[in-house]
Structure 1
Amino acid sequence: MRLTRVSWAGAGLVVALVAGPLPQPSVATTVSAADVPCQTISADLPTQEAASASRPIQLLGVERAQALLDRTAPAGPRVRVAVVDSGVIDTPRIPVVRRVGFTRLAEVQHFHGTAVAGLIAGQPLADGAAVGVAPDAEIVDVRVFDDDAPTDTDSADVQPARVALGLRWVARHADRLDIGVVNVSLMVADDPRLAAAVRALRRADVVVVASTGNRPTEPGQPLYPDFATLAPGEDAAARVFPAGYPGVVGVNATSGAADADDLGSVLQSSATDVAAPTPGGVTVALNGGTCVLPDVATSWSAAEVSGVVAMLRARFPDENARQIAARLTATASAAPGSASPLVGAGVVQPVEALTRPLHPTRAGTVAESLPAPDLLPEASQPVVASDDGAALRHAALWWGLVAGGLVVLALLVRPLLARRRDLGRPAAR
C-alpha cells in the first residue's frame, strides 16, 4: 500500500515513550513461546509468541463482549479506528486499510504505534485467545513521528504541530473512509493548531480517545520535575493534550488490582473520563510476533478504550460520537456522582456498555442509568457469570410456599362453609 509522506519542521515538545531507536526489519523465524516485553523486541529479532493470555482482556470480560457483539451488531461496514502514532508495521495480525505519514523515514522505527494498534484490533492468537479488544475493526495508520528521541535529522520526534496535522487529515477524510474513532496515545503541549484539529474531529462525528499521561520518573521526560511526585490537589489536565480538550475521552490506567497504588505510574487529571487496566496486555511486536506490556501506562489504556468505543460504534451505528461516549462513561464501574481524577467515571465495562438499556440524547446526556457497582472490583478479577438457575429455584420455592398455604386455608374454611349451607336449608319434613 502506498505511503503518503509530508515533511514538517518546527519546534515542539518531545514526548518520552518507552523504547529508543530500533533496527530495520529482516527475515525472522519463530522462537518458543515466552512473555517477552514489547519494549525489548527489535524488528530484526526472531518472532515470538506470548505464552500468557492477555490479563486486561480477562479482567474486562472482553471475550464475552466480543461474543455479544457477534450476536447483536447489525450488518454493516467495519468500524475504522485511526491510530495517530509512530506507524504500524505491515503484518496480517493487524488489519490496516490505509496508511498516511507525516515523517521522512520509510520503515517503522518505534514499537509504540504497532503496540497501540494491536491492542485495538490485533487478531486472535493461534489458540483463539484474544489480542485486540475489537478484532473486527480496521486500522487507519496515521504516522506522525518516528522516534521519541531522534538521533539524526531525518527522524521526527513528537510535536504538537505534527500531531495536529495527523488529526486534521483524519477529520478531512473521516466521512469518506468511515473513520469513527481516533486514538491518540500521546501527550503533548497545548497548541492552537491541535485544539482546532480536535474541534474539526468533533464536527466530523469522530470519537477522540487520548491518554491522560504517565508520571515522569527521570530528568528529560515531559512534565519533569513538576509532576515527578504526587502533590496535594494534583491536576495535569492543563498540561496534557489532546486529552485536556473538551469533548475528548481522556483515559487513565490502573494496575487492575483494587488494593494497588497506581499514582506512582500515572497522573491525576480532571480530564480523566474512564480508566482501564494495562499490565499483562498482549499485543503485536515490531517484528510481527506477539509480546507483553508489563506496565501501568496510559498509552495502552487509551488503546483498550478505543477498542471498546469501536465495539460500541458497531453495536449502535445510528448514534453519534457524544452518545457513544455517554454509553462508555455511564456504564463504567464507579458509583454515580463519584468521579475521580484517577479513574474518572470508573473502569470501563465492555459488556455493560453493550447491553445496559440506556437512551442517551443526541447531546450525550443520559436520563437514567441502573446503579453501577463499587469502584474497580470488575477490573481486579475476571467477571464471574451469574447463576440464572439459582434465581429460578428461589422463585419456585416461594411459589410452592404460597400454594401450600392456599391448600391449608382451603381445608380450614371448607367445613365452615359446609355448615353455613346446612343452616340455610329448610328443615326436613
Structure 2
Amino acid sequence: MRAQRHLTAAAAVLLALGTGAGSAVVGVVTAPPAYAAERSVPCRSVATVDDAGVKSVDLSYPDPYDEMRIADAQRAVGRTPGSGVTVAVLDSGIWPGVAAHVLRPSFKPSQTPGKYYHGTTVAGLIAGKATGGAPGGIAPGATLIDLPVSTAPQTGDEEPAVSRPSVEAALHYLNATRSKYSHLVVNLSVEFDTGSPVLRREIRRLVRSGAIVVAAAGNRTESEETTSPTPSAGPADARDQVFPAAYPGVVAVGATLTEGMSGDVSQYVVPNSATDVAAPPVGAHSYTLTGRPCIVDEPTTSWSTAEVSGVLALLASAYPKASAGEIVDRLLRTASGREDVPGRYTGAGVVQAYDAVTRPLDDGRTAAPAPVARANLGRPERDVLRGTRHAALWWGLVGGGALVLGLVLRPLLSRRRR
C-alpha cells in the first residue's frame, strides 16, 4: 500500500537546499517569502507529540501561493474565504487549535487515531489560522471535519498505516450525515494500489449527493525514486493503479515544483492520465503536529490535494448557489494548461485561484449552455404549394406595378402624339 508517502530522498535534497548545501535537483531563489520567518522548520520535523531536540533550519522557499494568486482570490471573494463550506479531512487527525472551526464527530474509525503530523499539516493548508505574521490556510473560514483513519507510528520516523476499511467507514459516515452540510468537500490525501466495491460505492454516493471529492494522483515509492531526471522505475501511466483518484467524479490532483525552482517533478510524482489539475506545495505555510508553524518542503500530491481542496472551498464560498459541477468546472477551465489536452502530471494545469473566482463564465473557454428543450407539438404537414404561392406573389406585385405605370403614362403619351 502506498499511503501518505514521505518522499524521504526528496525531502533530504530540499532540506539541504534550505541550509545552503548544493543543489542536485531543485534550485531556490534567494528571496524568501514575505511572510516567512527567518528561522522555521519543515512540517515533517515533528512527527510525534514530543518535539524536543528538533533543530530549526532556514527554509527560504518561493511562495507557491503567489503562483496560484491565492491572496488575490481571497480578497476577491468579498467575505471570509471558505465560510459556509465544510471540508472533511480523512487523515491522521488534526491538532487542536490549528483551524478556527473543527468538528470532531463521534465517528470512530476501525483504527486508533495516530499521533502524526500529516493530518495537521493538511488541515493547516486548507483552513489554518493566521499566526505570527504568516498567512492562514487557503480557506480559513471553512469548517473542518476531523476523521482520523490511521494508526499511530511506532517511532518518529515511521509513517502511520492508512487502511482502506477505515477510509470506507469514514466515507460511509459522511454519506449518512450528508444532509447536515450544504457544500461539502472531501479531502483524501491518501492513495491505495487497489480499489474496492465499497470504496467505489461510497464515493459514488457522495459525488451524486453534490459533494466534491478530492484525492491524490500518486507519489513514487522510495524504491522508485531516482536522482536521474528520467525515472528508471515505476509505471508509464498509473491511471488504474492509484485509488480513489481513479474513480469517476473524483478530482485527482498532481504536484508541481514551485516557480523559481528547477528540476523534474516526475522524480517524485507518478504519471497519471487521470490527473485533473495540479498545485505546487513546496514553500507553503502550515503546522506541525503540535501546532508549531512550519514550511512544506516535499513536492507530494498529498499536500497538493489539500491546497486544491482549499481552493474549492474558497470557490464554494464565493459562489454559494453554484453546484459542485459548476465549482469544479471553474477550477479546471481557469487552470494554467488546457483542459482538452491534459498532462499526465498536471492535468489541466496549475490551479489559478484568482481567475477561478473572477473569470466570467462566458469568457469563451466555458462550454455554451445546453439548448432549452422544446415541447414536442407533432410534426407539421408539408406545404407543397408554398414555393408556388411565393413566386405568384412577386410576379403579381411586378405586374401590378407595371399596369399602374402604364395607366399613368398613357394620357401623356397621347397628348404628345397630337
Alpha-carbon distance between aligned partners in 2 of 1:92 and 1:254, rounded to the nearest angstrom: 26
Are 1:82 and 2:88 an aligned pair? yes
Match of 1:238?
240
Match of 1:249?
251
Q: TM-score, normalised by structure 2?
A: 0.71
SS at match of 2:177: helix
Q: Which amino acid is 1:245 matched to?
A: Y
Q: CA deviation at 1:88?
A: 0.8
Q: CA deviation at 1:214?
A: 0.7
- In structure 2, relative to structure 1, the CA distance for the partners of 1:17 and 1:262 (3 Å cut) is closer
Q: CA deviation at 1:34?
A: 2.2
Are 1:206 and 2:214 an aligned pair? no
Match of 1:391?
none
Q: Which amino acid is 2:108 matched to?
A: G
Could you tell me whether the CA contact under 8 Å between 1:216 and 1:228 is conserved in 2?
A: no
Match of 2:264?
261
Match of 1:66?
74
Are 1:113 and 2:113 an aligned pair? no
Alpha-carbon distance between aligned partners in 2 of 1:306 and 1:253, rounded to the nearest angstrom: 13
Q: CA deviation at 1:297?
A: 0.5
Alpha-carbon distance between aligned partners in 1 of 2:277 and 2:285, rounded to the nearest angstrom: 21
Match of 1:135?
140
- In structure 2, relative to structure 1, the CA distance for the partners of 1:190 and 1:104 (3 Å cut) is closer
Could you tell me whether the CA contact under 8 Å between 1:83 and 1:142 is conserved in 2?
A: yes
Could you tell me whether the CA contact under 8 Å between 1:266 and 1:298 is conserved in 2?
A: yes
Q: Spell out, residue by residue over 1:195-248, the C-alpha distance to the aligned partner (whole angstroms, 9 max, x if none).
A: 1111011122110000101111228x9xxxxx97357x8111101011010000
Match of 2:63?
55
- Corresponding residue to 1:161 among 137, 158, 165: 165
Which segment is superposed worse, 156-165 or 62-71? 156-165
Q: CA deviation at 1:260?
A: 3.2
Match of 1:15?
3
- Bigger CA radius of gyration: 2
Q: CA deviation at 1:19?
A: 9.5
Q: CA deviation at 1:343?
A: 0.6
Could you tell me whether the CA contact under 8 Å between 1:208 and 1:249 is conserved in 2?
A: yes
- In structure 2, relative to structure 1, the CA distance for the partners of 1:72 and 1:164 (3 Å cut) is closer
Alpha-carbon distance between aligned partners in 1 of 2:285 and 2:307, rounded to the nearest angstrom: 11
Match of 2:43?
38
The sequence identity of aligned pairs, in percent, is 35
SS at match of 1:158: coil
Match of 1:411?
none
Match of 2:274?
271
- Corresponding residue to 2:188 among 184, 187, 211: 184
SS at match of 1:163: helix
- Corresponding residue to 1:349 among 338, 348, 352: 352
Which segment is superposed worse, 182-191 or 250-259? 250-259
Alpha-carbon distance between aligned partners in 2 of 1:213 and 1:175, rounded to the nearest angstrom: 31
Alpha-carbon distance between aligned partners in 2 of 1:279 and 1:336, rounded to the nearest angstrom: 24
Alpha-carbon distance between aligned partners in 2 of 1:229 and 1:368, rounded to the nearest angstrom: 44
Alpha-carbon distance between aligned partners in 1 of 2:164 and 2:361, rounded to the nearest angstrom: 37
Q: 1:286-305 counterparts in 2 under 5 A?
A: 286-305=289-308
- Corresponding residue to 1:101 among 84, 100, 108: 108
Are 1:144 and 2:114 an aligned pair? no
Alpha-carbon distance between aligned partners in 2 of 1:103 and 1:156, rounded to the nearest angstrom: 14
Alpha-carbon distance between aligned partners in 1 of 2:273 and 2:172, rounded to the nearest angstrom: 25
Q: Spell out, residue by residue over 1:337-363, the C-alpha distance to the aligned partner (whole angstroms, 9 max, x if none).
A: 331111100000000000111169xxx
Q: Which amino acid is 1:286 matched to?
A: L
Could you tell me whether the CA contact under 8 Å between 1:285 and 1:291 is conserved in 2?
A: yes
- In structure 2, relative to structure 1, the CA distance for the partners of 1:49 and 1:113 (3 Å cut) is farther
Match of 1:367?
367
Q: Which amino acid is 2:6 matched to?
A: V
- In structure 2, relative to structure 1, the CA distance for the partners of 1:71 and 1:314 (3 Å cut) is closer
Q: Which amino acid is 1:193 matched to?
A: V
Q: TM-score, normalised by structure 1?
A: 0.69
Q: CA deviation at 1:156?
A: 7.2
- Corresponding residue to 1:124 among 130, 136, 142: 130
Are 1:218 and 2:223 an aligned pair? yes
RMSD: 3.2
Could you tell me whether the CA contact under 8 Å between 1:85 and 1:184 is conserved in 2?
A: yes
Q: CA deviation at 1:178?
A: 3.9
Alignment gaps of 5+ in structure 2? 9-36, 370-418
Alignment gaps of 5+ in structure 1? 1-12, 21-31, 222-226, 370-429
SS at match of 1:101: coil
Alpha-carbon distance between aligned partners in 1 of 2:130 and 2:169, rounded to the nearest angstrom: 32
Q: CA deviation at 1:58?
A: 2.3
Q: CA deviation at 1:329?
A: 0.4
SS at match of 2:276: strand
Q: Spell out, residue by residue over 1:301-331, the C-alpha distance to the aligned partner (whole angstroms, 9 max, x if none).
A: 0000000000111111112111111111000
Q: Spell out, residue by residue over 1:19-60, the C-alpha distance to the aligned partner (whole angstroms, 9 max, x if none).
A: 99xxxxxxxxxxx96221111213222698998687222221
Are 1:285 and 2:285 an aligned pair? no
